[in-house]
Amino acid sequence: MAEIKYDIIKNVGILSESPKGWTKELNLISWNNKAPKYDLRDWSPDHDKMGKGITLTKEELMELRNILNNLEI
Amino acid sequence: MAEIKYDIIKNVGILSESPKGWTKELNLISWNNKAPKYDLRDWSPDHDKMGKGITLTKEELMELRNILNNLEI
């Protein structure tokens, strides 16, 4: 399997932590030395394992902020 | 492969649309008839195909809103 290189440029925030210590985080990540993207994903306690997640552009993140601020929760 | 049943309870918002018409959406979705969860995911134009995504609890979504409102973007 091809290796995926990633570099966590910035820990933006932690959304939640599971009983086993995995955290759901918003980070700014550079994948394979490309321009960094925002990334929402589960991580093991020492960040050596990652779960499913999605990447988001700055524009998508700004739109998500608008959506959440208009949502009654 | 086991079948996944899902029911889109509410279209909360659209973050972006690709040139091919796929949309990145925040929805409230019930998976396999379980209690609905918030879900951030890519969808084909007629919602018959889905891409990678993550589910979020209401509490995680509220925390994400706090994080985004403190982020300078």
Q: Which domain holds residue B17?
A: 6-69
CATH of the domain at B16: 2.30.31.70
Taking only the tens place, the pLDDT of each residue in A3-57 is: 889 999 999 999 999 999 999 999 999 999 999 999 999 999 998 899 989 999 9
CB of B37 closer than 8 Å to CB of B31: yes
* Pairwise CB contact (< 8 Å): B15 & A56: yes
Low-confidence stretches of chain B (pLDDT beneath 70): 1
* Contact status of B54 with chain A (Cβ, < 8 Å): yes
* Contact status of B10 with chain A (Cβ, < 8 Å): no
pLDDT score at B24? 97
Considering the domain boundaries, does residue B50 fall inside one?
yes
Considering the domain boundaries, does residue A1 fall inside one?
no
The number of beta carbons lying within 10 Å of the beta carbon of residue B13 is: 16
Q: Please state the pTM of the whole predicted model.
A: 0.90
The structural domain count of chain B equals 1
* Contact status of A15 with chain B (Cβ, < 8 Å): yes
Q: How far is A57 from chain B (nearest CA, A)?
A: 9
